[in-house]
Amino acid sequence: MTTTGIYVPQAGSGNVERRHAPRIPVTVEDLGLSEEFIIDLLLKTLYTQGARTGQQLVESLCLPFPFVDEQLLMLQQRRFVEVRGTSGPSRAGYMFDLTGAGRDRAREASASSQYVGPAPVPLQQYRRWVEAQTIRQAHVTRTLVEEGFSWLVLPPEMIDQIGPAINSAKSLFLYGESGNGKTAMAETIARLLGGSIFIPFAIEVDGQIMVLYDPVYHHPPDDAREQDNAPLSVESLWVGADGEYDYQTKMYQAPFQMKANGGVLIVDDFGRQRVPPRDLLNRWIVPLEKRVDFLSLHTGNKFPVPFDCLLIFATNIAPSELVEEAFLRRIHYKIRAESPTREQYEQIFERCCLGAGIGYQPEAVEQVYRDFYGPYSIAPRGCHPRDLVDHLCDIARFLEQDPSLSRDLVERACKSYFLDFPTST
């Protein structure tokens, strides 16, 4: 499956206030993990990273220092950990390292899972927080959609279609000829749903670890800073298809639809993936309708996870060629991205010229239509003005002259961009 964007930090039910943030765990019961699990995670951290101070262990596990220190004291008593030195007056500055017995225990723990990082969140807690931050609470008005899409030239009726599709928080099918802004529209929808949500770094499922946080798509808020020297910022543990199992590290990577919970999942160029469209929709029929997905562990165990994202399919293939009508019914909203009218084309061209610092001249559009679109039956697309202006600037730079909409530069740009017309010899 090909995706172009999963916009978790920019989507969801708006900014999550700190009073609604996940509670910092104080006890093992609060964390929802077994004591032995935390001990193994501490030992694997020391085994992988070497000797660490108490504060460094806090930063690695993203747990409060009193919680971590309690486990360290227990490990010292069991002769798994020893103190090698100190760099401060408190135990936060003590340098902890593994004993021989601790190394043996860490190797045994690594045989089951090599995960080292922030303490994972139990699946049950993850479900509760997805529901608390559900994208179904997202709401946009016509004014908000108009402002968000103001950088694109779209007909008013398309705005009236996009708004309800966003508020449905279900699924959207964007189709139409290539170059008419489907991907740009999908990404604009994602940016439109402003705010941050909390997601866990990793999830624990039946003793297995599934990593959810992906730095490509998920970004901690700018204000995620330690306050009053507190050892934990909540956003560190909860950062504003089946999972892929790595038999070497004994860990899972969460599938894309799970990484997109609370946000927007864009399936771009739908129909051109290695997975046939029918198979993909068959896989997602139940999640699309029930908002619940079922994943499988390599052990054979299945478990439910929320399917809480606005799913957007974008394609330039005719819907009838992709799937049957019964499948399309599962995709609630269908919006066609039409080719621009002459008036819309002129608006786009003028905006592109403004962005490039070139004086706009209507005669340039007339030249493109008269000399290229008409004679060679080339259909105007929304991306053409941007691309032609880019070509024109490249050519002007090569000729060491200022870019302008001169007849010569416009002709050169068109001839280097369009296909299917004779070139002069």
- Comparing 100-109, 317-326, 403-412, the range with the smallest average pLDDT is 317-326
Looking at per-residue pLDDT, the higher value among 238 and 362 belongs to 362
Considering the domain architecture, whether residues 316 and 220 belong to the same structural domain is answered as yes
pLDDT tens column, 257-308: 899 898 888 888 887 777 777 777 777 878 888 899 999 998 888 999 999 9
Domain termination residue (choose one: 304, 338, 372): 338
Beta strands in 94-207 (DSSP E): 94-98, 121-122, 171-175, 199-200, 202-205
With 80 as the cut, is the pLDDT of residue 226 above it? no
What DSSP line would sit under 341-384, residue for residue? PHHHHHHHHHHHHHHHT----HHHHHHHIIIIITTTTPPP-TTH
With 80 as the cut, is the pLDDT of residue 102 above it? yes
pLDDT tens column, 116-126: 999 999 999 99
Contacts of 215 (CB under 8 A, 6+ apart): none
Considering the domain architecture, whether residues 41 and 71 belong to the same structural domain is answered as yes
Is 132 strand, coil or helix?
A: helix
What's the mean pLDDT when you consider all of the chain?
A: 85
Domain termination residue (choose one: 284, 308, 338): 338
Report yes or no on 325 lying in a domain.
Answer: yes
Looking at the structure of the chain, the number of domains it has is: 3
With 90 as the cut, is the pLDDT of residue 42 above it? yes
Is 259 strand, coil or helix?
A: helix
CATH of residue 187:
3.40.50.300
- Comparing 65-69, 158-162, 242-246, 278-282, the range with the smallest average pLDDT is 242-246
How confident is the model at residue 243, as a pLDDT?
A: 66
Beta bridge partners of 353: none
Which residue range(s) make up the domain with 406?
Answer: 342-417
Residue 282 DSSP code = H
Once rounded to an integer, what is the mean pLDDT over residues 374-397?
Answer: 96
Report yes or no on 422 lying in a domain.
Answer: no
Share of the chain above pLDDT 90, in %: 59
Considering the domain architecture, whether residues 253 and 360 belong to the same structural domain is answered as no
pLDDT tens column, 126-139: 999 999 989 998 88
Report yes or no on 10 lying in a domain.
Answer: yes
With 50 as the cut, is the pLDDT of residue 366 above it? yes
pLDDT tens column, 326-339: 778 878 899 999 99
- Report d(CA 29, CA 322) in Å as an integer: 50
With 60 as the cut, is the pLDDT of residue 112 above it? yes
Considering the domain architecture, whether residues 326 and 346 belong to the same structural domain is answered as no
Q: Quick check: 43 and 106 in contact, CB under 8 A? A: yes
Considering the domain architecture, whether residues 44 and 191 belong to the same structural domain is answered as no
Considering the domain architecture, whether residues 299 and 234 belong to the same structural domain is answered as yes
Tokens 């909540």 belong to 234
How confident is the model at residue 421, as a pLDDT?
A: 55
Residue 262 DSSP code = T
How confident is the model at residue 204, as a pLDDT?
A: 94
Report yes or no on 104 lying in a domain.
Answer: yes
Report yes or no on 424 lying in a domain.
Answer: no
Q: Quick check: 198 and 231 in contact, CB under 8 A? A: no
Q: Quick check: 222 and 260 in contact, CB under 8 A? A: no
Provide the pLDDT confidence category of residue 192 given band limits of 50, 70 and 90.
confident
How confident is the model at residue 420, as a pLDDT?
A: 63
Considering the domain architecture, whether residues 160 and 267 belong to the same structural domain is answered as yes
Contacts of 82 (CB under 8 A, 6+ apart): 76, 96, 97, 98, 99
Report yes or no on 232 lying in a domain.
Answer: yes
CATH of residue 114:
1.10.10.10
- Comparing 20-24, 379-383, 403-407, the range with the smallest average pLDDT is 20-24
With 60 as the cut, is the pLDDT of residue 236 above it? no
Q: Quick check: 239 and 228 in contact, CB under 8 A? A: no
Looking at per-residue pLDDT, the higher value among 1 and 197 belongs to 197
Considering the domain architecture, whether residues 240 and 210 belong to the same structural domain is answered as yes
Once rounded to an integer, what is the mean pLDDT over residues 320-347?
Answer: 88
Considering the domain architecture, whether residues 8 and 41 belong to the same structural domain is answered as no
Is 203 strand, coil or helix?
A: strand
Report yes or no on 284 lying in a domain.
Answer: yes
How confident is the model at residue 210, as a pLDDT?
A: 94
- Report d(CA 247, CA 245) in Å as an integer: 6
Looking at per-residue pLDDT, the higher value among 154 and 279 belongs to 154
Considering the domain architecture, whether residues 149 and 262 belong to the same structural domain is answered as yes
- Report d(CA 86, CA 83) in Å as an integer: 8
Provide the pLDDT confidence category of residue 322 given band limits of 50, 70 and 90.
confident
Once rounded to an integer, what is the mean pLDDT over residues 137-158?
Answer: 93
Once rounded to an integer, what is the mean pLDDT over residues 166-191?
Answer: 91
Q: Quick check: 72 and 57 in contact, CB under 8 A? A: yes
Considering the domain architecture, whether residues 85 and 146 belong to the same structural domain is answered as no
The model's pTM is 0.81
Domain termination residue (choose one: 91, 118, 145): 118
How confident is the model at residue 319, as a pLDDT?
A: 80
Q: Quick check: 171 and 288 in contact, CB under 8 A? A: yes
Considering the domain architecture, whether residues 274 and 157 belong to the same structural domain is answered as yes
Share of the chain above pLDDT 70, in %: 88
pLDDT tens column, 44-99: 999 999 999 999 999 999 999 998 999 999 999 999 999 999 887 889 999 999 99
pLDDT tens column, 12-39: 344 444 446 787 887 888 889 999 999 9
- Widest CA span of the chain, in angstroms? 88
